Chains A and B, each alone.
Chain A
């Protein structure tokens, strides 16, 4: 069980190192997802299977998809197609998939050999977490809901105001949107020259 932890830790550290040194954001995102998967396995090994599931669903699922959406929204038309051609080369996705393969082999090993996450002194079940969450930490739950609500309103407000400010200051992104018109596929493709 200790060896499983060390392998997952090594994969996490490696993937994180590679993630912060990539030049392309999507590649970094891939490595970051692998790192999150490795950390989820670490959680599983130290007796927190519920948190491992949460890590996968929320971090690797929701937050990373949010990043991906933003990267896609910012993406630069013609430049993106070149990059996409580059993605088809195996050298780009070979390392993330190799690291992920290590992780899945390890996960299968751990599940088959124990049937449950042993090695931990005390496996904390979702029930205990729930009792603790709505018992002594009820005020924390309320505060978290408040925080999430304010985050939602804040993100919406920032997203809305961006359009109005463009109108007010007459920044040429307005003109660009008119030029691209309803051609959503190629909208913003002329931004590539600005990014260079």
Chain B
């Protein structure tokens, strides 16, 4: 299970590093959060304790908050510039 978590995390990281579209960036962050939650559940499975699953619930709530704020930022960015390329964001000042 842990290998699967590591693989998914790596895939999310690759997606984060290679894609320039902001929506794909957010999706990759979601994949990585999910993979870390999977690692917690793997630990919970290993020792038969519910703690890891509690941690996964926290990760779930955090991912929900993160993605709502991220998408709101993305909408605002899109209103300002009609593109979703994260390279253009580096030219924003103030």
Contact = CB atoms under 8 A, between A and B. Distances in A.
Interface of A: 5, 9, 12-13, 16-17, 19-20, 25, 28-29, 32, 35-36, 39, 42-43, 46-48, 50-51, 54-55, 58-59, 62-63, 66-67, 70-71, 73-74, 120-122, 124, 128-129, 131-133, 137, 140, 144, 147-148, 150-152, 154-156, 158-159, 161-162, 165-166, 171, 173, 191, 194-195
A154 B24 CA distance: 22
A150 B66 CA distance: 10
Contacts of B18: 20
A89 to B, nearest CB: 23
Contact of A13 (B7, B21, B41): B7
A144 B56 contact: no
A194 B8 contact: no
A29 B31 CA distance: 11
A124 B40 CA distance: 13
Contacts of B34: 36, 39, 59
